[in-house]
Structure 1
Amino acid sequence: MKTAFYLSVAALAVALCSTGAFAQGVDLPEDEEVISETIVVTANRTERAISQVGESVTLVEEEEIVNRQPSEVLDILRTVPGVTFNRNGGIGTNTGVSIRGAESDQTVVLIDGVKLNDPSSTGGGFNFGPALTGNIARVEVVRGSQSVLYGSQAIGGVVNLITREPTEDLGVFARAEYGERDTAELVGNVSGKFGPVGLSVGGNYYRTDGISAFSEARGGTEPDGFESLGANAKLDIALGENFSIDLRGFYADSEVEIDGFTATGLGDTNEVSYREDLVGYAGINANFLDGRVRNRLGIAYTRIDRSNFSFDTDSETFDAFGENVRYEYQGVFDAAEIAELVFGAEREESEYLSSSFGAPAIGDKVWINSAYGQLNLTPFQGLSLTGGVRYDDHETYGNNTTFAASGAYSPNGGDTVLRGSYGEGFKAPALFQLFSDFGNTALEPEESESWDVGITHSFLDGRAQVGVTYFERDAENLIAFVGCTGNPIPACQDPANPRPFGTYDNIALASAEGWEFGLAVRPVDGFDVALNYTTIDARNDVNGNHLPRRAEDTISLVADYRMENGIGIGATVFVAGDSFDNATNTTRLDGYVVTDIRASFGITEQIEIFGRIENLFDEQYETIFRYGQPGRAVFGGVRYRM
């Protein structure tokens, strides 16, 4: 179906809602306080009211996550403005997320502030496939190039997944559900404070028989299951009035059955992909000058192990290990009532090993040293300005410097906010691109410049908000795979290290521009309706083609009504327009509409039963050519909160 048809369907859905629609990321507070007092952390690496943030930010907080009943992080991200995704099968399979048309490996992904990107993947990106919501209580997405504060890969933006925090009183969250395809999920978390120690610890388990990754509409018959076990923990230890120790941990162990290429093309295969994620952070916080100087010194560790095993050939087909160690210092100095300085230094050491079909493992490691500073100014009430610079020194290509600036202005106490930002981004060559059999150690970093400008306005005494943002991004030196036949670049001409199949080179240019529109309404207490519409024109500037697997138009409608009698009802409608599967724009992916509905009922103040129907109308669609997506499915369960 064509994009216009889907836009008409979405418009009809909005018309049927008596309240209008929604700009997601708008946090409409229960007590009708000014929306702008919502606090965000990721945009400036320090707490700031959203009315003082010039960057484009979306927040999805715990209550919305609980109400929407998602099992996977993708269910949340797909409704964020500017975000598109592609996935080669059902839950657990390889999933790429793009922000404002950037490549999926041009996004920094964090879990509780620790970088999750996989150094062993081809482009150093993060596979969202096995990422479950579990005990994630908050999602922050910052759009636009953010390398001044987050370094390499922050060309498209930053996604920060934040798990449940320690609480003052004993807090318990538990959820159990069962549904279609023999799907079962268990989630639990306990938090509290015990003297000087604040603790939050939890775990989750998920399993499903799944769907055929090779599209059932094209002949796929074998279900591809997924299973995952995870754990999360945070520990805050107060050593005194001004000192504390901060410990964080995250673990996930998953396996997913995958389909691949056979002698006759893509089809059902008896192959399993295993993955283990281990993330840790240890730091010390020290405050001086009555809290005006806040210091954090820490070490962050990420390790991702992956392997594929074929039961058809009884052999391991792939094995990879990626490790990232980051030593970091960050300071925040309240220099004056109107000025705050954020500054820091980092050393990141990345390592990878990989092999295919039993061949000897190939790997290497690289370091990058960085220093950054950003000044946040509030020269007078209603105006906030930021400006920052970062310097990076990379082991293979040398150094580069990036800049950023942003501003937010509200003439009426946050009811109307004008925003604008400019940011430069860079992405260091991935280890695979540098050191694999196809590697090229002469690669330069990918670079970008992006800017956006927008306005949000609240009305109806804070019960409604409308917003619009325009954005542009230009990227150069993009790394692409090239053939070596007749190619004069040194990597292709090195007789000591021949590249018969090709190598990587900085040859690509890309750009993106578009609009993000949003509307949020709370007509009565407990009833939230939200609509987002994004249009993105992302192109290869060398040949003018559309970048593959980026829908030009996306719409999300999210509505939830929590009644005083304990009943909750809600729906999500997600619309994606047409896109192309390949860079030559010869294979088209049709647009689609997916509708989810949900309900819940509070038996007591702590216990609630819930249920949902995903893909209510059993839409058949593909986000990658010939790979299927889940059809209609029913789930139900119970949750406990204290």
Structure 2
Amino acid sequence: MMNKRDFLKCSIMTVLVLGACGQVFAEDSTATYELAPIVVTANRVPEKLVDTKADISVVTRKQIENLHLQTVEDTLREVPGTQFLNYGSNGLNANLSGIRINGSKDVVILIDGVRITDFQGANNSGYMYASILNNMDNIERVEVLRGSAAVKYGSGAKGGVINIITRKIDGTKQSIDFSKGTGGKESYKFDSMGKLGKFGYNAYYNRTLIGDTKDGDGKKWPGHTRTNSGGAKFTYDFNDNNHLSMYYDEVSSKYRGKDFVYKNKYHGDYKTHAFTIQDDWQIDKHWSNMLSYRSSKIKTNYFQDYKNSQSKYGISSDLSYDFVTEQVRFNDDWNDLVFGLDYSYGKNHLPLSTGQFTDDGDMIQVRNHTQKNYSYFIQEDWKFLPRWTLSGGLRYDRPETDKYSADIKNHRSSSYKLSYDITDKDTVFAGRNEFYILPGLDVIYAAWADPDDDSGTIKDHGNRHLKPAEGRTSTIGYTHKFNDASAFTLNWFETKDSSVIGYSNESNRYENFDHGIARGWNAQLLYQLGSSWNFNLGWAHLYQNVPGDNLSLGYYPKDKMTFAIMYNRDKWNAGIDGFYFIRRKNPRYSGSKGWPSDKYAIFNLSVNYSPNKDLTFYTRVENLFDKLWAEHTDVIWNHKDGAWYSMPGRLITVGVKYKF
């Protein structure tokens, strides 16, 4: 049940919104929101969001601007069916967050349809750095596809796919953006784009600072984060049907803070470089081709005091990736066929365990462990009758490992879906998707110091004999389309694991487990009322129990409502967004005070004023009611009440953006 305080807040917000809605029909406004957003993630081809026949959400450019979403994490919190494991108020919060979709940490993250990481296995596939693309001015939209999509996107796409779509260069303009807020937050942004005949360019630079923050109880969490990011994009139009783009992005982030749970100070850094080249060619009326190449490097370091002594605990990574995607499409009135090749090559440059020992018992380490994977895929949507569509797909994976790892056999995955248009506005569909997850470099060669070992000795926790994880996801969905801008969707899913990669507390290493399960449903209402109001409402219900995964220990929501209400008229626009969280309690730890609250609501408020088309003043208030809440706890491990990582309390940011 919702407690009285949260119920009162929700009631007040509802009354205010309904009261304002009563005015909308009497107002004559020319302001409007983006209609019928186009998405590409559902089937690897462009189509209207309301026509995808898939469990998909999109956060549009308008939402990003009007709600002043500052990071990719802020954006993803708007999406139903996503769960976060964030480490709290201080500097670490600004850099590392665990994200789940439908309860799974096996999530594929793409930028413009191309992976940014791979071979991260059960340890890190669900972790992302919030600064990974923090130039939100360069993002057109973020698409989230829930449920297994391994046939379309390959290994790791069990929980879903996050596709960050960058903006197209559509004219010559520059902008500067300055903001300052509580919690020591400062942000400085510059963005410039231009079009010179067939040539286009875009360059940007961002600098963000975060300092000490307070949680909802007023407790101060010391920390400091400094993030710099910059990049450039160049495009060339050979003709109206052939476009070439090249872009380079670089992020550098340093952070430090105090961990009150383990009573340690910590510091770390994160650096990434990525170069991408992409050619998009519409060959003729029916055939098109897209070729993409991305090279990226990621280096991380994290250090903390060890047992309050002079010794230190640290963990680092130094990874590089090369990706190639070749995709061919054929479409006509009855068929939409996509086929191609995905190639991934990953290398870990740090000295890692080989699983072999010298005669003296010392662990043998070597550098440059590698993994490769060749994937061939084909996907077709066949409209075999006026209201019936049959979809099917196959993917063939051919992985390669180095000599220190066990050989992994080739694998074939399949998917199928049947859709029926009951009316022009109502559609039902049902399908099944198999998934296949390669063991990552992090779980094969894992090594770290155990917290209970005072010597700080690095121990081998990896497993060179791990087999891929496998399973399938079944889905049933319904969509009602009010119009091109408004729709209601309801999707039920069940994910069954036949093989799982997880961490064993008994053997203190990664192992294969059998029989995991996750099931639930996701509902969302996207509605535009008049020309000024826009509503997004989502509800996700989840049950999950997967061996070797700690999510079922009390981390995840049984139910979670997400909401965003936006108003746009003349020189003003405003929005309220947030979520209401109901935790699924674990009976094993029901007697411990593991969290500040198991039911809570978080509200954010954004207000923008534009005296002219070039100048905007804005403010954003996060955690409007200063709620004490947390997503990570140590209670389930060491059973000490109150040992959670508090999220920030109320944060106020004020800024100005000027275009010229």
- Shorter-chain TM-score above 0.5: yes
Q: Which position in structure 2 is the counterpart of 1:575?
A: 580
**Aligned counterparts of 1:427 and 1:80: Cα–Cα separation in 2:** 24
**Which residue pairs with 1:428 in the alignment?**
438
Matched, 1:112 2:109: no
Among candidates 272, 277, 283, match of residue 277 of structure 1: 272
Deviation (angstroms), 1:442:
2.0
Rounded to whole Å, the distance in 1 between the matches of 2:558 and 2:256 is 31
Judging changes above 3 Å, is the alpha-carbon distance between structure 1 residues 583 and 100 closer, same or farther for their aligned structure 2 residues? farther
Deviation of 1:86 after TM superposition, in Å, equals: 1.1
Deviations 1:143-193 (CA, angstroms, capped at 9, x unpaired): 1100111111100000011222211x2233432211112211122322232
User: How far 1:87 moved relative to its partner?
Assistant: 0.6
For the 8 Å contact 2:414–2:433, the answer to whether it is kept is yes
Segments of 5+ residues of structure 1 without an aligned counterpart are 23-29, 486-501
Q: Is the 8 A contact 2:216 2:629 kept in 1?
A: no
One-letter code aligned to 1:342: V
Partner Cα distance (1:333, 1:456) in 2 = 26
Q: Secondary structure at the match of 1:130?
A: helix
Residues 229-266 of structure 1, C-alpha deviation per residue, up to 9 Å, x if partnerless? 112433222235654433133221111224448xxx61
Partners of 1:418 and 1:110 lie apart in 2 by: 28
Tell me which residue corresponds to 2:489: 467
C-alpha separation between the residues in 2 aligned to 1:48 and 1:560? Answer: 24
- 1:369-420: per-residue Cα shift (whole Å, max 9, x none)? 110001122345554442111000112311111112234443444x333343
Structure 1 residue matching 2:78: 3-state secondary structure: coil
Query: Structure 1 residues 234, 34: CA separation in 2 closer, same or farther (over 3 Å shift)?
Result: closer
- Given that 2:118 and 2:344 are in contact with CA atoms closer than 8 Å, whether structure 1 keeps it comes out as no
Distance 1:34 1:255, change over 3 A: closer
Q: How does 1:240-251 map to 2 (within 5 A)?
A: 240=239, 243-251=242-250
The CA deviation at 1:6 is 8.4
Give the 4+ runs in structure 1 shifted more than 6 A: 4-7, 30-35, 541-545, 581-586
* Structure 1 residue 508, shift from structure 2 partner: 4.3
Q: How does 1:139-154 map to 2 (within 5 A)?
A: 139-154=142-157
Deviation string for 1:535-559 (max 9, x for gaps)?
1111237999935421111112211
1:444 maps onto 2:467 in alignment: yes
CA deviations on 1:175-230 (whole Å, 9 max, x unpaired) are 22111122111223222322222333322211111437xx796x975511111111
- C-alpha spacing 1:421/1:76, structure 2 compared with 1 (3 Å): farther
The answer to whether the 8 A contact 1:118-1:323 is kept is no
Q: Which residue of 1 aligns with 2:530?
A: 524
Q: Distance in 2 between matches of 1:617 and 1:320?
A: 38
Shift, 1:66, TM fit: 0.3
Check if 1:406 corresponds to 2:421. Answer: no
Instruction: Name the CA shift for 1:350/1:585 in 2 (closer, same or farther; >3 Å).
Output: farther
Show structure 2 runs of 5+ residues with no match.
22-29, 353-362, 401-406, 447-459, 634-643
C-alpha change, 1:202 and 1:470, in structure 2 (3 Å) is same
* SS of residue in 1 equivalent to 2:443: helix
Give secondary structure in 2 for the equivalent of 1:369. Answer: strand
Partner of 2:503: 481
**Residue among 315, 331, 347 paired with 1:351:** 347
Match in the other structure for 1:95: 97
What are the equivalent positions in structure 2 for 1:180-195 lying under 5 Å apart?
Answer: 180-195=182-197
Aligned residue among 500, 503, 507 for 2:513: 507
Q: How far off is 1:119 after superposition?
A: 4.8
AA in 1 matched with 2:434: E
- For 1:535, the equivalent position in structure 2 comes to 541
What SS is found at the alignment partner of 1:454?
strand
Structure 1 distance, partners of 2:486, 2:238, is 44
Q: Partner of 1:79: helix, strand, or coil?
A: coil
Q: 1:118 to 1:267 in 2, by over 3 A?
A: farther
Contact 1:418 1:455 in 2 (8 A): yes
Q: Following the alignment from structure 2 to structure 1, what is the Cα–Cα distance between the partners of residues 154 and 499?
A: 17
* Matching residue of 1:65: 64
Distance 1:129 1:610 in 2: 22
- After superposition, the C-alpha distances for 1:495-529 in whole angstroms (9 at most, x for unaligned) are xxxxxxx4322114321111222333433321112
Please report the RMSD computed on the Cα atoms of aligned residues, expressed in angstroms: 3.4
Structure-2 residue corresponding to 1:593? 601
**Paired residues for 1:206-355 under 5 Å:** 206-211=208-213, 221-240=220-239, 243-260=242-259, 266-269=262-265, 271-288=266-283, 290-309=284-303, 317-334=314-331, 336-354=332-350
Query: Structure 2 vs 1, CA of residues 553 and 120 (structure 1 numbering), >3 Å: closer, same or farther?
Result: closer
**Residue aligning to 2:201:** 199
Q: Of 568, 575, 578, which residue of structure 2 is paired with 1:562?
A: 568
Cα pair distance change 1:598/1:482, threshold 3 Å: closer
Give 1:553's aligned amino acid: D
Q: In the alignment, residue 432 of structure 1 is paired with which amino acid?
A: D
Specify the SS of the correspondent of 2:211. strand
* CA–CA distance in structure 2, aligned partners of residues 567 and 533 of structure 1: 29
Return closer, same or farther for 1:133/1:196 CA change in 2, 3 Å cut-off. closer
SS, match of residue 42 in structure 1: coil
Any conservation in 2 of the 1:177–1:635 contact (CA below 8 Å)? yes
For residue 605 of structure 1, what is the aligned residue in structure 2?
Answer: 613
Distance in 2 between residues matched to 1:543 and 1:112, nearest whole Å: 30
Aligned to 1:494: none
Q: Distance in 1 between matches of 2:411 and 2:517?
A: 21
CA spacing shift, 1:535–1:7, aligned 2, 3 Å: farther
CA distance in 2, matches of 1:363, 1:3: 52
More moved, 386-395 vs 347-356: 347-356
Partner of 1:488: none
User: What secondary structure, in the 3-state scheme, does the structure 1 residue paired with 2:128 have?
Assistant: coil
State the alpha-carbon separation in 1 of the partners of residues 119 and 157 from structure 2. 15
CA distance in 2, matches of 1:5, 1:381: 52
Which residue of 397, 402, 409 maps to 2:408?
397
Deviation at 1:337, TM superposition (A): 3.0
Q: 1:629 aligns with which of 640, 647, 651?
A: 647
Deviates more, 1:582-591 or 1:363-372: 582-591
Residue 438 of structure 1 aligns with an amino acid whose one-letter code is H
TM-score by length of 1: 0.85
Paired residue secondary structure (2:262): strand
Letter in 2 for 1:479: I
1:437-475: CA deviations, max 9, x gaps?
32222211112311222223244x677543322221112
Do the aligned partners of residues 18 and 98 (structure 1) sit closer, same or farther apart at CA in structure 2, a change above 3 Å counting? same
CA distance in 2, matches of 1:372, 1:585: 46
Task: Rate the CA distance shift 1:636–1:368 in 2: closer, same or farther, 3 A.
Answer: same
C-alpha distance in 2, partners of 1:429/1:586? 36
- Residue identity (%): 22
Distance in 2, matches of 1:543 and 1:559, equals 35
Amino acid at match of 1:631: G
**Aligned partners of 2:413 and 2:435 also within 8 Å:** yes
Partner SS state of residue 351, structure 1: strand
CA distance 1:420–1:250, change in 2 (3 Å): farther
TM-score if structure 2 supplies the norm length? Answer: 0.82
